[in-house]
Structure 1
Amino acid sequence: MKLSLTSWSFPACSLQEIAAISRALGIGALDVGLFYRSGLNKSEILADPKAAAEPLRNLGVTIPNYYHLFGEGIDGQNLSLPGTIAQNIKDTEAILTFADAADIATVFILPGVINPGQSRDQAGGQSAESLKALLEVASHHKAQLCIEPHVQSWAESPALVQRLVDQTGVKLALDYSHFACLGYRQDEIDPLAQHAAHVHLRQAKMGHLQAKFAQGTLNFPAMFATLRDAGYQGYLALEAVHQDYMNTLTEDVLTETILMRDCFQNWKG
């Protein structure tokens, strides 16, 4: 397993600056997305994916993962929204072409939300139908498509996520913090490790999606061992953030990033 840094962790920095931070911290890998000053241009990716990939080759870091959001916000054009499959298939073809051209191993998307008039089961059923279609597109590409179950999605419990995996075969961008903040114990989340294609690292506790490293409840050495024993050999992305979502504005991102880096390196020996 190796470390990466998420580009959205430092919202005021350009992509080049965050790549330099990743190198300076001895990480040398960077997840990319669509947000803040470092955000990629979604319109360019969808219109000419191979051309959009070219600038990433000059960053001087490995890019393990790209985070794509289909619409505006987590509810726009989301996987649980009826009538979105055709457009999402078209967009998925473009984003995976982009990922292949940029040598990005994994692309993660969100599983969808509970839309107006839907039940959780209806949202989950529509999401599964969407994912089956998108995974068929992904079967023709090198980059692996996966989902990140998250707070405020329809898939907020380990059991719901496991059901979706069983229905579709989808792999996960696994982030324990989204379950921990809802009160799930770490050992209840552990069975999902066998389905991980990418992993996010962030300290959390019940009621808090993000917590200071010394004040959260996640046991990271145990998590690393669980992932290793499940056969995971991919990237662990350091994802301390400074953003409005779920009140994650109060931590010193650089300090938290370094503490998590050191925790992994000490465990790895």
Structure 2
Amino acid sequence: MKLSLTTWSLRGLTLDEAAGFSRVLGIGALDLGYFYKPGLDREALIADPDGMAERVLKLGVALPNLYHLFGGSLSDRNLADPRHRAQNEADFRQVVHFARSAGLGSVFVLPGVVNPGQDRAAALVESAESLRRLVAIAAPEGIQLTIEPHVHSYLESPTLVLDLLDRVPGLELVLDYAHFVCLGYRQEEIDVLAPHAAHVHLRQARMGVLQCKLSLGTLNFPAMLGTLRAAGYDGYLAIEYVHQDYMDGLHDDVLTETIDMRDCVREWLA
């Protein structure tokens, strides 16, 4: 297993500075996204995927994963809304082209929300159909499509996640235990998802709190890392402390918590 940082954790840095910061911390890998100062320009990427790939390859760090958001919010053009499938698929073809050209192994998207007139079951059915089509675009190009179950999506329980994975062959997870712990699930209830992880996000959490200081949460990271290893996981662990208003993630020192998490993982791996 290897560590990575995320561009959306480093919101005040340029993209080049974020890559340099990853190297300074001895990590040397950076997940890409569209947010804040180091974020990629989504429209530019879609218009010229090869040009954007050339840009990021000059960063000199490993690029494990891209977080692709179809619209401007969690609900905009979300995958549980069938009205946007054609546009989403057209954009995703360009995203996959970029990922292949830049040497990324995976792209992650969000599963969708409960839209007006839907319940969770209906949202899951629509999302599964959208995701099957996206897998069919990504898989032939050697790109792993992943989703991140998250707070405020329709996909807020391990049971629903397993149901979705059964419906979409070839789909895997960006697994962030924090989203489930925040909702009240015990760590051992989340462990069933470890065999389906293609990428992992790390931050501390507790019930009702999506992100907190390493010393103030309930996640047992040595146990989590052991579960992942036992499941055969040998991919990237992206440290994802953030400073953003979503779920009140405004109160932690991102630098300090990132270093503490780095050291926690290194101690276990050693």
TM band (smaller chain)? over 0.9
Matched residue, 1:126: 126
SS in 1 for 2:34: coil
Name the structure 2 match of 1:262.
263
**In the alignment, what sits opposite 1:93?**
93
Match of 1:191 in 2: 192
Q: Give matches, 1:49-128, under 5 Å.
A: 49-128=49-128
Q: 2: distance between equivalents of 1:21 and 1:42?
A: 23
Give the SS at the match of 2:238. Answer: strand
Give yes or no for contact 2:50–2:101 (8 Å, CA) kept in 1: yes
Are 1:239 and 2:240 counterparts?
yes
After superposition, give the CA deviation of every residue in 1:143-172 in whole Å (9 maximum; x if it has no partner): 211100100000000000010011112100
What is aligned with 1:203?
Answer: 204
Alpha-carbon distance in structure 2 between the residues aligned to 1:157 and 1:108:
18
Taking the aligned partners of 2:256 and 2:245, their CA distance within structure 1 comes to 19
- TM score, norm. by length of structure 2: 0.98
Aligned length: 269
Secondary structure of residue in 1 paired with 2:195: helix
Structure 1 runs of 4+ with >6 Å offset? none
Shift of 1:194: 0.3
The residue type equivalent to 2:96 in the other structure is L
Instruction: Give the TM-score, by structure 1 length.
Output: 0.99
Q: d(CA) in 2 for partners of 1:115 and 1:79?
A: 10
Shift of 1:117: 1.3
> Is structure 2 residue 240 aligned with structure 1 residue 229?
no
RMSD: 0.7
1:143 and 2:167 aligned: no
Identity, % of aligned positions: 57
| Map of 2:153 onto structure 1 | 153
Q: Could you tell me which amino acid in structure 1 is paired with residue 265 of structure 2?
A: F
Q: CA deviation at 1:60?
A: 1.4
d(CA) in 2 for partners of 1:104, 1:260: 24
SS at match of 1:107: strand
Q: 1:220, CA displacement in angstroms?
A: 0.3
Deviation at 1:84, TM superposition (A): 1.5
Cα distance between partner residues in 2 of 1:190 and 1:24: 32
